[in-house]
Chains A and B, each alone.
Chain A
Amino acid sequence: MSEAVSIDAIDRAIIDSLQGGFPLCERPYAEVAEPLGISEDQLLERLQAMLDARVLTRFGPMFQVERMGGAFVLAAMRVPEADWQRVLEVVNAFPQVAHNYRRESDRNCDFNMWFVLATETADGIAAAVRSIEEASGLPVFSFPKLQEYFVEMKLAVRA
């Protein structure tokens, strides 16, 4: 697994202060920088550095595709080890695959590839599932959310 990258107290404060509520004004970065005691330029440099180092995977608006008529669906496959690389390339080549994680359990659960399909229309999910099944030759199990109980960024930076 990748190791935690070293970040300093200012980086941590930046991440914590950028969890939401980014200002909609002419100089938003200046507004965020001020209470942190750094300059607008320093904030921009640090944000760029954290994106380059992959401390941040993204900075910007987080879109909810469901609210635009589209859909997000979690899906999983049981990929034999010997076939892993081929299937990975097939699956990742689909632009509808937004995230893909390898997952393993202590109980040898064989559902080992987990990805999120994001499509602009609800119909697009079923089509993407079919296309991935055809291209990979393996079944795709989709796990649409039936109910969401809680979603909020609750993790404080602890590195």
Chain B
Amino acid sequence: MSGAPARSVDAIDRRLILATQSGLPLVARPYQQLAEQVGIAPQEVMERLARMLDSGVIRRIGAVPNHYAIGYTANGMSVWDVPDERIDELGARIGALDFVTHCYHRPRKLPEWPYSLFAMVHGGSRAEVQAKVAEIAALLGADCRAYDVLFSTRILKKTGLRIAG
């Protein structure tokens, strides 16, 4: 797991999270509406959101586009078997590529799953994703012992985090 420390969220933060986990209200004064729902002043809603942004409990407040709808109709999860002693250096280089949106070191599950480096690649077509994956393969050179690309072919569920009420 990431080594991020757990930050305490209090009961009011929790109510705010519950009130916004399906989205920010689409009204002119969204924080006012949240304030009424949660039972605190609008200013406190903003202060609490600012604090959660600072501490990283909230990564950002923004829009999550459907990749397919914004033209990235192909997304490939490229997975690589690279030497453990080289993975941090290689991961940093691959993560910095502009077409890689996520890059992680994850455990192998031998014998079924030999791959330890996961890099998500988005593109307008499968061919474009394949070409980008070929760039990664070239960059890895002899450090790549095996790889595969898993294309997402269907979204089966996408609800995001749901905490219990």
Binding site for B on A (CB under 8 A): 1-5, 7, 12, 14-15, 18-22, 24-30, 40, 44, 47-48, 50-51, 53-69, 71-72, 74, 78, 88, 92, 95, 97-107, 109, 111, 113-115, 118, 120, 122, 141, 143-155, 157-159
Compute the total of residue contacts between A and B using a CB distance below 8 Å: 274
B61 touches A22 (CB 8 A): yes
A59 touches B63 (CB 8 A): yes
A115–B152 Cα distance when bound, in Å, is 11
Question: Measured between C-beta atoms, what is the minimum distance from A25 to chain B in Å?
Answer: 7
Question: Measured between C-beta atoms, what is the minimum distance from A141 to chain B in Å?
Answer: 5
| B49, B73, B155 interface centre (most CB from chain A within 10 Å) | B155
Chain B residues within an 8 Å CB radius of A97: 157
B158 touches A99 (CB 8 A): yes
B59 touches A74 (CB 8 A): no
Chain A residues within an 8 Å CB radius of B94: 149
Q: Is B11 on the interface with A (CB-CB < 8 A)?
A: no
For chain B, residues 48 to 76, give those with C-beta under 8 angstroms from any C-beta of chain A: 49-50, 52, 55-74
Task: Decide yes or no: A106 and B60 within 8 Å by CB, A68-B7, A157-B70 being known contacts.
Answer: no
* 11 A–B contacts, CB within 8 A, in A order: A5-B69, A22-B61, A30-B28, A56-B65, A58-B23, A64-B4, A74-B106, A100-B157, A103-B151, A143-B109, A155-B101
Identify whether the interface residues of A are mostly helix, strand, loop, or mixed.
Answer: mixed
Task: Decide yes or no: A1 and B153 within 8 Å by CB, A145-B1, A150-B96, A153-B101 being known contacts.
Answer: yes
- The residue of chain A having its C-beta at the shortest distance from the C-beta of B92 within the complex is A149
A143–B102 Cα distance when bound, in Å, is 14
Chain A residues within an 8 Å CB radius of B149: 105-106
B77 touches A2 (CB 8 A): no
Question: Measured between C-beta atoms, what is the minimum distance from B15 to chain A in Å?
Answer: 13
Task: Decide yes or no: A62 and B23 within 8 Å by CB, A114-B150, A120-B163, A146-B106 being known contacts.
Answer: no
- The residue of chain A having its C-beta at the shortest distance from the C-beta of B96 within the complex is A150
- The residue of chain B having its C-beta at the shortest distance from the C-beta of A143 within the complex is B106
A12–B63 Cα distance when bound, in Å, is 11
A101–B30 Cα distance when bound, in Å, is 32
Task: Decide yes or no: A62 and B64 within 8 Å by CB, A4-B73, A27-B29 being known contacts.
Answer: yes
Task: Decide yes or no: A148 and B2 within 8 Å by CB, A20-B62, A61-B61, A74-B106 being known contacts.
Answer: yes
Identify whether the interface residues of B are mostly helix, strand, loop, or mixed.
Answer: mixed
| A3, A27, A88, A105 interface centre (most CB from chain B within 10 Å) | A105
Question: Measured between C-beta atoms, what is the minimum distance from A105 to chain B in Å?
Answer: 5
Chain A residues within an 8 Å CB radius of B159: 98-99
Question: Which single member of B50, B103, B161, B164 contacts A63 (CB below 8 Å)?
Answer: B161
B70 touches A141 (CB 8 A): no
| B1, B58, B88, B98 interface centre (most CB from chain A within 10 Å) | B1
